[in-house]
Structures are given as structure tokens and as C-alpha cells.
């Protein structure tokens, strides 16, 4: 990789704060890389919105990443990865794009012994069936037979945002969402939303301790490390630029909880709008 490319940052974006769990993994797998993160906190959440709207937001998020001269784009949002990855790839041209779905499906198929894989995610991710398709492709490649069971968990995102990681209500809600998957006797569960690692303990306890949880952010971060050939790009102090479309201070507070360490001040980005009646 030429030095002028190596010096460029990795772009990471999400609908909001969830993608910071991916940044946390990148700090481990590619600690010497600079990162530009964008969280679209003025329009969060994406997971309950339509395919068309998510694709429009994804195009605008990608535009912002490209404007920052990134050398790679990590789509740290399962919803965007599920319904708009082709749009991001089209706009990125020769710049590599890493989505959440493919590396996570690969690891889930590798990890399962019984072939019974559960998938949890937002309504949009589950409705897209992107994980089912990726797991079927991977199962064929790895010569395994897999069956999938999916459940949308819309309240997990607001619970994670609120930091209710061990509240009795969170346990009840997890029980409601995960009971059908437990009854299907899955042995592997895909955490198909970057918010869910925040609720890892309650999810593991509810689904059962013998079920392997596959964290999409961690799998994507491993793939980033494989694709960045130089282990040490020559930043003297690798820096992280955090951009958000709203609430920079709240983002920083919750982000530090997600990262488990201090993070740089988040900067505000806004956009112009005008109504168009269609």
C-alpha cells in the first residue's frame, strides 16, 4: 500500500452510537489506524425505517465518508449492510467496503455444530433476509447444512441507548424475543445489530450459556485487519475523528460507556433540506 494511501483514515458509519462497538474492536485489530466515524444521531434509528429511506441515508453517509478521503469504508450498521451495501459499494468505486453481514455469516457457519443458527436484528435487517441468504451461501462454501431462525428485537436499541443493561424489564423483553429461538434449539446466535453487544450479558443469560454468540462488529473488525496489509501504518499518534449529526455531548458520554475508555470530542455535522411532495 503506498504511503499516501496508508496514511488515510478508515471511514466507519452507523445510524448512531451502535457503531462505536465496532470502533472498539478496530482499536484492538488495527490500533495504528486513523478512524473517521459518523453517527447520524439526528435521524437515528434506521432499523424501523423503510428500505428506500435507509438507502437514501446510506448514500448521504457515504458522501460524507468520501469527503473525508477515507481509504476504506466500514458500514458499522447491520441495517445499512442488509439493505444498502450495494449503494455504498457503487459510490465507493475502488475503495473497499466492509459490511457487517458477510464476515458475521462466515463466522456463524464456522462456529455452529448443530447447524441451527439464530439471528437477531432490527425489523429492517430481519425483513431483508440478508443474513439468511449470506448464511446459505457460506454453508454451501463450507459444506455444512444450516437452518436459520430470525427474530426482530426492536426494543433492544432503545434499551441499549438508555443503558438498561441489567434491568428486570430488559430480562423480560429479552425472554419475550429470544424464547422462540431457544425453543428452536439454536447453538449459535448472530448479534445482527451493532447495539447488541451492550446487552451481551442479558442475551447470553436468556438464550443459554451453551449458545455461541457471534458479534458482527468483532467479525468485521477482523476482516478489516486482514485487508489492511501493513500492521503498522506510520501515524505517530493514531487519531480518531468523531462526527455526529446531533447531540455531540450525549454521544460522547454514551460512546465512552460503549468503548470503556475516554474518547475525543464529537463534532457536529448538519445538512440542508427542502421538502418535495412526491
Q: What is the phi/psi pair of residue 28, to 5°?
A: -90, -45
* 235 within 8 A of 34, measured Cβ to Cβ: yes
Stretch that binds its own copies, among 62-70, 190-198, 201-209, 212-220 (CB under 8 A): 62-70
H or E element at residue 205: helix 200-207
User: Does 275 sit near its own copies (CB under 8 A)?
Assistant: yes
Annotated active-site residue 146? The verdict is no
Is residue 153 annotated as a catalytic residue, yes or no? no
> Residue 133's closest CA among 169, 104, 91?
104
Among 36-44, 109-117, 210-218, 234-242, which window interacts with its own copies (CB under 8 A)? 36-44
CA 201 to centroid of chain Cα atoms: 18
Neighbours of 163 (CB within 10 A): 13
Nearer to its own copies, 168 or 262 (CB): 168
Active-site hit among 10, 22, 36, 77:
77
Beta bridge partners of 212: 188
Work out whether the CA dihedral 107, 112, 115, 118 comes out positive or negative: negative
Residue 175 beta carbon to its own copies: minimum distance, rounded to whole angstroms = 9
Residue with cell 475516554: 262
User: Facing residues of 38 across strands?
Assistant: 13, 243
Q: Does 172 bind its own copies (CB under 8 A)?
A: yes
Choosing from 6, 27, 29, 43, the residue that interacts with its own copies (CB under 8 A) is: 43
Residue 277 is a binding residue for its own copies (CB under 8 A): yes
Among the listed residues 246, 253, 257, 259, the single contact to its own copies using CB under 8 A: 246
Show which residues are catalytic.
Answer: 77, 193
Task: Give the footprint of its own copies on this chain (CB under 8 A).
Answer: 41-43, 48-50, 52-53, 56, 60, 63-64, 67, 154-155, 158-159, 161-162, 164, 167-169, 172-173, 176, 243, 245-247, 268-278
Amino acid at each position: 500500500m503506498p504511503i499516501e494511501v496508508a496514511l488515510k483514515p478508515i471511514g466507519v458509519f452507523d445510524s448512531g452510537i451502535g457503531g462505536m462497538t465496532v470502533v472498539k474492536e478496530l482499536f484492538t485489530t488495527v490500533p495504528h489506524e486513523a478512524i473517521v466515524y459518523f453517527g447520524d444521531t439526528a435521524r437515528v434509528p434506521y432499523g424501523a425505517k423503510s428500505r428506500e429511506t435507509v438507502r437514501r441515508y446510506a448514500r448521504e453517509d457515504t458522501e460524507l465518508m468520501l469527503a473525508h478521503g477515507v481509504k476504506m469504508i466500514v458500514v458499522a450498521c447491520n441495517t445499512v449492510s442488509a439493505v444498502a451495501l450495494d449503494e455504498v459499494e457503487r459510490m465507493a468505486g475502488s475503495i473497499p467496503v466492509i459490511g457487517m453481514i458477510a464476515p458475521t455469516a462466515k463466522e456463524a457457519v464456522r462456529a455452529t455444530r448443530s447447524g441451527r443458527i439464530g439471528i437477531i436484528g432490527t425489523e429492517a435487517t430481519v425483513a431483508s433476509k440478508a443474513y439468511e441468504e449470506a448464511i446459505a451461501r457460506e454453508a454451501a462454501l463450507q459444506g455444512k447444512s444450516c437452518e436459520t431462525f430470525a427474530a426482530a428485537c426492536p426494543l433492544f436499541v432503545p434499551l441499549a441507548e438508555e443503558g438498561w443493561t441489567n434491568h428486570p424489564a430488559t430480562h423480560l423483553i429479552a425472554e419475550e424475543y429470544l424464547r422462540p429461538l431457544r425453543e428452536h434449539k439454536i447453538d449459535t446466535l448472530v448479534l445482527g445489530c451493532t447495539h447488541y453487544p451492550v446487552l451481551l450479558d442479558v442475551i447470553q443469560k436468556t438464550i443459554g450459556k451453551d449458545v455461541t454468540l457471534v458479534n458482527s462488529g468483532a467479525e468485521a473488525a477482523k476482516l478489516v485487519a486482514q485487508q489492511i496489509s501493513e500492521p503498522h501504518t506510520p501515524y505517530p499518534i493514531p487519531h480518531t475523528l468523531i462526527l455526529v449529526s446531533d447531540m455531540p455531548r450525549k454521544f460522547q458520554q454514551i460512546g465512552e460507556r460503549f468503548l470503556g475508555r475516554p474518547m475525543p470530542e464529537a463534532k457536529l455535522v448538519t445538512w440542508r433540506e427542502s421538502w418535495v411532495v412526491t
